[in-house]
Structures are given as structure tokens and as C-alpha cells.
Amino acid sequence: MHIPDGFLTPTVTITTVTVAGAVLANSLKTVNASIKPDQIPLMGLLASFVFLIQLFSFPIPGGTSIHLTGALLISIILGPRAGFIILTVSLLALALLFQHGGVFSLGANVINMAAVGCFVGYALYNLIPGRRGAIILASMISGIVSAALCASELALSGMLELSAGIKTMSFIYGITGLIEGVITLLILEFLLKVKPEILGSET
Amino acid sequence: MKHAFIDRYAHLKSPIHELDVAKKLAAALSGLFLLLILLPLLDQTRTMSGLYIYSICALLVALGSKVPISFLLTRSVMVLPFSALIILVNFVSGNFSPGQTLEMILKSMLSIFTLLLLTSTTPFHELMKQLARWGAPRLFIIILAFMYRYFFLLVGEIEALERGIKMRHSQVGGWKRTQVYASIIGMLLIRSYERAENVYRAMRMRGFTGDFR
């Protein structure tokens, strides 16, 4: 899902980098204006946390494993804008230090994973009634949306045939999104039991 | 505990390591620009010859940097599973073209190779400093720096949590196992949160008032 460098055409690369850059600049501006001093180290530590859980593969029943993105989890804790900044930092570090995804394709990856996961995921979480169902559905739908975007970017670059790409990738990432939703729910239930005040630190 | 695996070759001594960070970062970014924006605009035979020439230059720089070539090459082929996914989808839908596939694989391997050369000849904190000097947003760089600083500590914590769980109940399977891992992650989140509170207290004591611009 992390698109490496070399898969996107120059046009798609430049467009996605511009869009992602604009969203990032806007989020930084908003968060900068309202951030409280104690939230600066908190955002840093949570970025470290997100970076780590993205590297940590999670065993799921059935013998396979997936890794979490943490997008919805962080957005619920800190709000979607701070969540988006944290996810972007983590994607940059993954590209530079672990070669997951590229630097020029970062624009596309930031849109697909950070922006969709945080903004679309969080909006759905608020729209859908009922907390449990909302978490699972929001995570699953944002998984499908980001897979469809990823497939479209690759198709625009002539890498995939559009409908085949969208069908295959949405199916795979719909399932991963569903699993991430269930795990996010388990983590949030654990937090509510052990340290509920964490859930009230939105920027 | 030893966790210096991220930029482990960044402290070697070589002419490339001693180059100015700004020059290295600019060179790596121009290399990527050439590979990913300029070369693809040419026709396919010229793109391919461009890619071959680029590989030779990249190999020469790598030899000069004393970073083990085997390390650079094994990390560069990590892109192949992703390529395999694309090739598979194309095979299924009948759109497979060998020439385009080769170009794609070569381009992405060379991009990774270029970035690896940069990160294995420059310590990560130097790269962050240079980005800040070029005007990257302060909040972004601060979060990146915090992330890098505390990543190693959190790795240590997750190892301790996993060890504790292994000691207490040796083997659980299925749904229970998923729940156990979810609580490890939840616990890690709580510890990160509490560490952030302590870090903030320490920062305040040293005069931090929230002004980082």
C-alpha cells in the first residue's frame, strides 16, 4: 500500500505532492494556532508510538498478520488535524529510514493513508451513530476509500487497469480496514478501562 | 540494549560522509528528480539508457562511501514484493508489458538506492537540522525530532511488555491472542502518554514556555 518511488508518472507525482503539501500546510497552521505547550511533547511521543505500531505486525486469527496505521486511533485522541500531521511525519520517517514508500510518492501516500485515514475516518466516526459500530465501519470504509485512491493513482500512471485495480485493492484493504477497526475498538475499550483521561486530549 | 540500527553506517569515515549535509541532501533530491520526473519524459529507449548511466554513477558513489554494497542492494530489492503485487494484478487483467515492468522496477530500486546512500552517509539529526535551515515548518521538525528520539525507548518498552506477556501465559490462540496484543498496544500508548507528561515537566523546568517558533 505504501507506493514506492518510480511507480507514478511525473504528472501524478507533482499533483499529489501539491495537494498533500497544501493540506499539510493548512493543518500545521491550524494546529500551530491552537496548540497548548504540553501538547508538543505529546504529539512527538504519539508520533513515535504510531511509527512503532506501523512497524509491528499484529497476529490475527487465521495465521496471517497485518500492521495497523493508527490513523483513526490518533484522530480520536488528538483530533484529525494533529492526527494527520503525526501520520505524515511517520510516513516520511518510514520512507527515509525503512524504505516503505518513497519520497516523491510521499504526496500520494500522505493523501491515501494520512488524509483519508484521519479526515475521512474521523468524519465517518462522528457521523455514524453508536460508538462500537462507528469505529469499525469508519475504519473499514476509509480502508476502501484509500485503496480506491491508491488504485486510481496507479491507473492514471498506466500501472494498472482501473476497474481491476480498484476491485482487487478495495477488497484487500476493506478487510484490513475491518480488522484495524476491531483492534482500534479493543484498544479504545482498554484505554477506557485503564486511563480514560487520554481520550479527552483533543487539540 | 543496542538500537542504533536505523542509520548504522552514518558514522563511518569516507569522503562522502564528510561532504556538507546541504550538498548531499540537494544531490539526493536532484537525483530523485532526474529519475522520477525528468527521465520518464523521454521516450522509452532513452529513459532506459539514462537509467543504466544513473546506476553506474550511483554504484561509483556507493563505492566511494565505504557503505557495504551488499547492504545497499538487499535493502533496494525490498521494493520487489510491491512490484510483484502490481505485476500479478496486471497478469490477471491481461495488461502485462515486460518493458514497462523492467523500467518501473529499475526506477524504484535506483530511488531507494539513492535515499539509502543519503541516510547511510548522514546522521538523521543532521538531515533534520538541514531541513529546518531550509525553512521546513518548525512544528513538523519538532515532532519528527521527538519521534526519532523516543522511538528507541518505545522499542525497549514494547520488548519488555512482550516478554512479560510471554512469561505470564505461554500460549494463547485466536481471539484471546488478538485481545492480548491490543492491550499491549494500549499499554504502550498509555506509557507514551505518561512519558510525554514527564518530558513536558522537564521542559518547563528548563524554561520552555510553549514558544518553539
- Asked if B193 lies within 8 A of A46 by C-beta distance, the reply is yes
Check whether residue B149 and residue B117 sit in a common domain: no
Query: Chains A and B: how many Cβ contacts under 8 Å?
Result: 227
Question: Taking CB atoms and an 8 Å cutoff, what residues of chain A touch B82?
Answer: 2-4, 7
Residue B50 belongs to a domain: yes
Question: Taking CB atoms and an 8 Å cutoff, what residues of chain B touch A48?
Answer: 146-151, 154, 192
Interval B44-92: pLDDT, tens: 888 899 999 999 999 999 999 989 999 999 888 887 877 887 787 777 7
**Min distance B185 CA to chain A CA atoms (Å):** 7
Burial of A62: CB neighbours in 10 Å, binned 0-12, 13-18, 19+: exposed
Total tally of structural domains belonging to chain B: 2
Average pLDDT over residues B114-119: 93
Say how far residue A82 (Cα) sits from the centre of its chain: 12
* Rounded-to-integer distance, Cα B206 and Cα B198, Å: 13
Check whether residue B84 and residue B118 sit in a common domain: yes
ipTM of this predicted complex? 0.90
DSSP letter for each residue of B71-128 = HHHHHHGGGHHHHHHHHHHHHHHT---HHHHHHHHHHHHHHHHHHHHHHHHS-HHHHH
Burial of A106: CB neighbours in 10 Å, binned 0-12, 13-18, 19+: buried
Q: Which helix (H) or strand (E) holds B7?
A: none
Residues B32, B111 contacting (CB under 8 angstroms)? yes
Residue B26 belongs to a domain: yes
B21-25, Cβ contacts within 8 angstroms, sequence gap of 24 or more: B21/B122, B21/B126, B21/B127, B21/B129, B21/B130, B22/B130, B22/B133, B22/B134, B24/B118, B24/B121, B24/B122, B25/B118, B25/B122, B25/B127, B25/B130, B25/B131
Check whether residue B157 and residue B85 sit in a common domain: no
- Closest partner residue to A44 (CB to CB) among B92, B142, B204 is B142
Residue B88 belongs to a domain: yes
Residue B106 belongs to a domain: yes
* Residue type (1 letter), A47: A
Check whether residue B65 and residue B117 sit in a common domain: yes
Residues A164, B92 contacting (CB under 8 angstroms)? yes
Check whether residue B108 and residue B173 sit in a common domain: no
Cell output for B103: 523500467
Check whether residue B188 and residue B98 sit in a common domain: no
Average pLDDT over residues B115-119: 92
pLDDT on residue B2:
46
Of residues A200, A13, A2, the one with CA closest to residue A87: A2
- Asked if B143 lies within 8 A of A7 by C-beta distance, the reply is no
Q: Which helix (H) or strand (E) holds B21?
A: helix B21-33
User: Which among B124, B150, B184 is the end of a domain?
Assistant: B124
Residue B8 belongs to a domain: no
Mean pLDDT of chain B: 87
Cell output for A155: 491507473
Check whether residue B148 and residue B119 sit in a common domain: no
pLDDT on residue A18:
97
User: Which among B124, B146, B163 is the end of a domain?
Assistant: B124
- Asked if B193 lies within 8 A of A99 by C-beta distance, the reply is no
- Asked if A41 lies within 8 A of B196 by C-beta distance, the reply is yes
What is the sign, positive or negative, of the torsion defined by CA atoms of B134, B139, B17, A107?
negative
* Rounded-to-integer distance, Cα A67 and Cα A80, Å: 20
Check whether residue B61 and residue B160 sit in a common domain: no
Residues A44, B196 contacting (CB under 8 angstroms)? yes
Of residues B96, B100, B25, the one with CA closest to residue A9: B100
Alpha carbon distance, N-terminus to C-terminus of chain B: 35
Check whether residue B98 and residue B20 sit in a common domain: yes
Check whether residue B61 and residue B158 sit in a common domain: no
Question: Taking CB atoms and an 8 Å cutoff, what residues of chain B touch A28?
Answer: 137, 139-140
**Residue % of chain B over a pLDDT of 70:** 94
Check whether residue B164 and residue B109 sit in a common domain: no
pLDDT on residue B194:
92
Residue B93 belongs to a domain: yes
Domain span holding position B21? 15-124
* Rounded-to-integer distance, Cα B140 and Cα A188, Å: 27
pLDDT of B213 over the 80 cut: no
* Rounded-to-integer distance, Cα A165 and Cα A163, Å: 5
Residues A187, B185 contacting (CB under 8 angstroms)? yes
pLDDT of B3 over the 60 cut: no
Check whether residue B19 and residue B118 sit in a common domain: yes
Residue B193 belongs to a domain: yes
pLDDT of B152 over the 90 cut: no
Question: Taking CB atoms and an 8 Å cutoff, what residues of chain B touch A85?
Answer: 139-140, 143
B19-23, B104-108, B168-172: segment of lowest average pLDDT: B168-172
* Rounded-to-integer distance, Cα B32 and Cα B107, Å: 9
Residue B163 belongs to a domain: yes
Task: Report the length, in residues, of chain B.
Answer: 213
pLDDT of B179 over the 60 cut: yes
| Minimum CA–CA partner of B80 in chain A | A4
pLDDT along chain A (203 residues), means of 10: 88 96 96 90 94 78 72 94 96 89 94 96 94 94 95 89 86 91 93 86 56
Domains delineated in chain A: 10-197 (1.10.1760.20)
User: Which among B76, B91, B124 is the end of a domain?
Assistant: B124
Residues A108, A2 contacting (CB under 8 angstroms)? no
Residues A8, A158 contacting (CB under 8 angstroms)? no
For an interface test with B, which of A49, A105, A136, A159 has the most B Cβ atoms less than 10 Å from its Cβ? A49
Those of residues 59-118 in B touching chain A at CB distance below 8 A are: 75-76, 78-79, 82, 86, 89-90, 92-93, 95, 100, 104-112, 115-116
